[in-house]
Amino acid sequence: MYQFREITLKNGSQEKKILTIEFDQPEMKIVGEFLMADARLVDDSVLEAIERVLTGVTECVESGGNRCGLIIKADTTVIYDLFEDDADVETYPPYEMETKKLRALIRVWIEKLDEWKRSNR
């Protein structure tokens, strides 16, 4: 389904290690971009938005981050690329998945990322 991988980014003599998530299904590339770029924005507000929708507080939440936009509904969430009109950036098609599965995936990613950061101080 997916795997975590540490990669090293290089810019001249500078190097920086980051953790990535890669999905076996190519159509899920935008999900990986969302997790790596936007899932931790604004103190995990995406998880809070998902909870509001799943508990019926609100019917739908639209959210946007640095790279991805979300349309969160109780059954499914659509993740789409905010750069789709930018010819200079590789973009990915939207992906729709079960909202509960996205919530679980965000939690797994945050836990793994926090663990990786602690071990790479």
What is the pTM for the complete model shown?
A: 0.90
C-alpha 64/C-alpha 41 separation (Å) is 10
Range of the domain at 62: 2-119
Nearest alpha carbon to residue 78 among 58, 92, 98, 56: 98
Are residues 37 and 65 in contact, defined by beta-carbon separation less than 8 angstroms?
A: yes
Q: 1-56 pLDDT, tens per residue?
A: 999 999 999 999 999 999 999 999 999 999 999 999 998 775 678 999 999 999 99
Taking only the tens place, the pLDDT of each residue in 60-113 is 999 988 999 999 999 999 999 999 877 788 899 999 999 999 999 999 999 999
Number of domains the chain is built from: 1
Task: Give the residue carrying structure tokens 């290690």.
Answer: 17
